[in-house]
Amino acid sequence: MVATVGLVGFRPAPALVARVTSPPYDVIKPGSALWKLLEAEPLSLFHIILGSEPAAAFDRLRAEGALVPDDEPAYYVYEQRYVGPEGRDETRLGVFVAAEVTPYEAKQVIRHEKTFDDKVKGRIALARATGHTFGPVFALTRAPLLAVLERCTSAAALYELTTDLRGLNDLHGIRSRIFRVTQASEEGAAIQRVLASDPFYIADGHHRYHAALRNGQRHTLVYVTESARIQAYNRVVRGTRSFADARAALRLRSTDAFVTPPKHTFCLYTREGSFLVDAGHVPSDVVGRLDCSILEREVYPHLGLEHSMIADPAHFDYYPESQLAQMKDAVDRGDYELAIALHPVTIDELVAVADAGLESPDIVMPEKSTFFAPKVLSGLFVFRHTLR
Write the pLDDT tens digit of every residue in 346-366.
Answer: 999 999 999 999 888 889 888
pLDDT value of position 194: 97
User: What is the distance, to the nearest Å, from the Cα of residue 190 to the centroid of all Cα atoms in its chain?
Assistant: 27
Over range 107-132, report the average pLDDT. 93
Q: Do domains 4-231+371-384 and 232-344 have the same CATH topology?
A: no
Q: Do 178 and 84 contact (CB within 8 A), yes or no?
A: no
- The confidence band for 116, taking pLDDT boundaries of 50, 70 and 90, is confident
b/e code 121-142 from CB counts within 10 Å (16+ = b) = ebbbebbeebebbbbbbbbbbe
Average pLDDT score over the chain: 95
pLDDT value of position 151: 97
Closest CA to 349 of 303, 305, 301, 291: 291
pLDDT value of position 341: 98
- The confidence band for 81, taking pLDDT boundaries of 50, 70 and 90, is very high
pLDDT value of position 367: 83
In percent, the amount of the chain with pLDDT more than 70 equals: 100
Q: Do 307 and 222 contact (CB within 8 A), yes or no?
A: no
Which 3 state secondary structure label does DSSP give 326?
helix
Class of domain 232-344: alpha beta
How many C-beta atoms surround the C-beta of residue 263 within 10 A?
14
Based on its alpha-carbon atoms, the radius of gyration of the chain, rounded to whole angstroms, reads: 21
Q: What contacts 31, CB < 8 A, 6 or more positions away?
A: none
pTM, whole model, 2 decimals?
Answer: 0.89
CA distance 163 to 298: 41
- The confidence band for 133, taking pLDDT boundaries of 50, 70 and 90, is very high
Closest CA to 107 of 349, 365, 355, 363: 355
pLDDT value of position 291: 97
* Fold entry, domain 4-231+371-384: 3.90.1530
Is the predicted pLDDT of residue 152 greater than 90, yes or no?
A: yes
pLDDT by residue (tens digit) across 34-66? 999 999 999 999 999 999 999 999 999 999 999
pLDDT value of position 189: 98
pLDDT by residue (tens digit) across 210-260? 999 999 999 999 999 998 889 999 999 999 999 999 999 998 999 999 999
Is the predicted pLDDT of residue 86 greater than 80, yes or no?
A: no
pLDDT value of position 108: 96
pLDDT value of position 212: 98
User: What residues does each domain of the chain span?
Assistant: 4-231+371-384, 232-344
pLDDT by residue (tens digit) across 328-348? 999 999 999 999 999 999 999
pLDDT value of position 1: 80
pLDDT value of position 84: 81
Over range 114-140, report the average pLDDT. 94
Weakest mean pLDDT among 190-194, 280-284, 301-305, 367-371: 367-371
In sequence order, what are the beta bridge partners of 109? 200
pLDDT value of position 373: 86
Is the predicted pLDDT of residue 309 greater than 90, yes or no?
A: yes
Angle between helices 117-130 and 206-214 (to 10 degrees): 60
pLDDT value of position 322: 87
pLDDT value of position 61: 98
